[in-house]
Amino acid sequence: MKSYKFQKILSSGLVQIVVIALCLLWTLPSFGVFVSSFRLPDQIALSGWWKAFETPLEFSQWTLENYAEVLTSGGLANSFLNSLIVTIPSTLLPIMISAIAAYAFAWIKFPGREILFAIVVGLIVMPIQMALIPVLRMYNQLGWTGTFMGIWLAHTGFAIPMAVYLLYNFISQIPRDLIEAATIDGATHYQIFSGLVLRLSLPAIASFAVFEFLWIWNDLLVALVFLGTRAELAVITARLTDLIGTRGEAWYLLTAGAFISMLAPLVVFFGLQRFFVRGMLAGAVKE
């Protein structure tokens, strides 16, 4: 009954109109950036991006020089690679650790489990800004400042509390009969986790992976603190900030740079979209 009502609400015409309007509202600025990234600097300065469609067949007003300049002299190509180097391990590490921890909290009884879980969940409310200076001091002593390993561990530590909480909510809802049946068959905790729990939890893991990837990809504060200002280690957000500061009149390059920075998040989102939707809807509708 609840499933039928939920589907009826989603299929109503008013909801569809609102969703389409919101999609257009969110997509329009990105489309404007995309159009501006191919326009000549003088045209961008004289008119809005929508003016480009008054004479769309005049190829003289379109150019690829913005992309060529921002990738070469702007150094965006190297910073794009640095962002991938930072983001991919920083997304995978907390997922692997948190999935194991969430399974332990959900299905393994050990002394102090409730207290330890409460501590982990409590860390969610602590702002990461409070930990930046202590962690940076420790990194300076260990020589990890300005290294990719240092920022991997920093992002992992900041992400684990939320990841454990989200994955625990999903893993703990797995039917107990499945876990007990695997235990009766002689499966160990490792076999249950790797062969059963991970497969069933894939939508939740993919949902968190999308959010974590986007958060780290768009991060500037943590990258500046732990990687510093060295040009060869700059991530794409830091490079775009430099363009804002050093290209006061050549801001047209920012349109090309901004659109390049969107590519990786778009690929990740559309690649994991089906898992993301399943993870968001998991548990939302009950028969």
Give residue 100's pLDDT band: very low, low, confident or very high (50, 70, 90): very high
Amino acid making up residue 141: Q
Q: Which tens digit of pLDDT belongs to each residue from 203-253?
A: 889 888 988 999 999 999 999 999 988 888 889 988 888 777 655 566 778
If you average pLDDT over every residue of the chain, what do you get? 83
In sequence order, the 6+-apart residues with CB closer than 8 A to the CB of 47 are none
Residue that the structure tokens 């939920």 belong to: 6
Question: Which letter, b or e, does each residue of 8-20 get, where b requires 16 or more Cβ atoms within 10 Å of its Cβ?
Answer: eeeeeeeeeeeee
**Confidence at residue 287, expressed as pLDDT on a 0 to 100 scale:** 40
Lowest-confidence region among 17-21, 135-139, 209-213: 17-21
Partnered with residue 62 across adjacent β-strands are: 39
Residue 214 neighbours by CB under 8 Å, 6+ apart? 265, 268, 269
Give me the domains of the chain, ranges plus CATH numbers.
1-63 (no CATH), 64-281 (1.10.3720.10)
